[in-house]
Structure 1
Amino acid sequence: MNEMKFEVAFMPKEIKTTHPQVCVLVDVLRATSAIVTMFEKGCSEIILTEDELKTLSERADYLQDGTLVCAEEHDGSISPHAQFSPSLSSIRSMGMAGKRVVMRTTNGTLAGLTLWNSGIEEILIGSLHNAKAVMEKAVSRAIELKGSVTIVCAGRENGQIAALDDVYCAGVLLQYGEEAARAQNLVPLWKDSAKISRHLLSIYPNKVLAFEDSGSGETMRRIDCIEDIGLSTEENISTCVPEVYFSKEDGIKVKNSNGVMAK
């Protein structure tokens, strides 16, 4: 039988670009969970940026067509230049059907930009919300590429250190990756990094305790967004599979590959 290789990059800077691969980007608390949630709310597209003010100044049409800004400060609180932060509880109460969103977060959007700029062109957005759907698509795309699947954790402190919540989420995603691979008559081949993530699942009795124990969980408590911890652990509530791509007009964007993006 053929094999499907799975590995985990605990930080974006660990990614290797020497072989064909599909990358599943994870920043479970909160950027990638927020992206999935925004598409579930009907968002048309998401522009990833390192500087929301610069992006808005370069695109006057964004100010005129109702484009929303989702951005946070380094401590996780909402940016003064944004309508909302990547807080899952706030996003769920917003109306954003058909809206474009300009998005900047401390780790998640930076990780997406880092991956794309390193030459990775197959980037899917993963979270617990879309765990099954994203891993089925990742395995299917990897088969087409004759490549492997790498789960890339956004990490913390601008992607410079590993994040417990991301690595735990990667372990859950790998379970669905195994199911998807076996459904295609492929034998999963676990690299050591994938084994570490899978073993982490046995340390905590449930996802909420794992996320509460993480540095990201501590941040949520500090900025009074405790509700986001529980919301981020909700599993398979979406079949949305966001995908990163490049547009000459807008730069690096995210679209819902399971739907039709508004023009």
Structure 2
Amino acid sequence: MAEEKRKFRVEVCFSPDEFDLYKQEYSVVVAIDVLRATTAICTAFEHGAEKVIPVSTVAEALVYKNKGYMAGAERNGKIVEGFEFGNSPFSYMGEAIKGKTLVLTTTNGTRAINIAAATHKVIIGALVNLDAVIAYLIDQPDDVLLLASGWQGKFNLEDSICAGAITEALLESGKYMSDEDSTIASLFLFKEARVNYFGFLKASSHRRRLRNLNLNEDIKYCLTPNQTRVIPVYKDGALVKMEL
């Protein structure tokens, strides 16, 4: 009788502050910050950026800016004073970024990326590249951790819903299994939200935060799935477009 193949694990971590509880068990980390960092990063590559350097602090971004790099900085949903752009995906469109190396620091997303990239292979996930990420993960042979960026170390809805969407597809492929309660919770959140992300997240804290900053168009863009097949991957200190 043929030996049954081992199933890979897929689990969800709700916050970078909890990453140490998971990191020993997984080979691939999918960093998720739907509103808005990972969406902006995917958009930049879709529009021709060569690299994106994610940095965790404004001071680091300023060093790059002073060296002549195109640098964006966001804190609490707002562009940091002295920078031309933050993490709106609309800032990463057009001819100006083609072939460029960009530098970005955000409240949550770039911190999550750098925490995971210190020890793991990291790819970038969002709703805008959802199906591409799912297809890649189904074909690769490792255990996967879906790392939600959250909000200042705390749980948020939109990243967990995106993680739930990925989880559902991986489990349905038959190649993955999961048993963490965080993964089960994300899966049920996704099942409730899938018909109307925009409506489901109407009362979410970060959507309200962005709406109060008149960023509704950003929200609509970030919550619209499958606008790109790009998958950014962290390599040698920067994110680059994965060669599929």
Normalising to structure 2: TM-score of the pair? Answer: 0.88
Q: Tell me which of 164, 167, 172 is aligned to 1:174.
A: 167
Q: Identify which of 16, 39, 42 aligns with 2:45.
A: 39
Could you say which residue in structure 1 is the equivalent of 2:184? 195
Aligned position for 1:51: 57
Amino acid at match of 2:70: L
Paired letter, 1:173: I
Mapping 1:182-221, distance limit 5 Å: 182=174, 186-204=175-193, 205-221=195-211
**Deviation string, structure 1 residues 113-170 (Cα, Å, up to 9, x no partner):** 11123x2x211100011111112223433x1xxx31110000102xx11111111111
In structure 1, the residue matched to 2:116 is 115
Q: Which residue of 2 aligns with 1:100?
A: 101
Structure 1 residues 51, 192: closer, same or farther in 2, change over 3 A?
closer
Identify if the C-alpha distance between structure 1 residues 100 and 230 changes in structure 2 by more than 3 Å, giving closer, same or farther.
same
Alignment match, 2:84: 83
Q: Which residue, out of 235, 238, 244, partners 1:253?
A: 238
Contact 2:62 2:71 in 1 (8 A): no
Unaligned runs of 5+ in 1: 247-251
2:134 and 2:169 in contact (8 A); partners too: yes
Between the aligned partners of 1:55 and 1:208, the Cα distance in structure 2 is 32
Please tell me the residue identity of whatever aligns with 2:39.
S
- Paired residue for 1:240? 230
8 A Cα contact 1:9 1:153, kept in partner? yes
Query: RMSD of the alignment, in Å?
Result: 2.1
Rate the CA distance shift 1:138–1:13 in 2: closer, same or farther, 3 A.
Answer: farther
Other structure's SS at 2:239 match: strand
Determine the structure 2 residue equivalent to 1:5: 9
Q: Which runs of 5+ in 2 are unaligned?
A: none
TM-fit CA distance, 1:220: 0.8
Structure 2 SS opposite 1:224: coil
Letter in 2 for 1:6: V
| Number of aligned residue pairs | 237
Shift of 1:187: 4.8
Structure 1 residue 237: Cα displacement: 1.7
Aligned sequence identity (%) = 27
Which residue does 1:249 correspond to in 2? Answer: none
| Structure 2 partner of 1:129 | 128
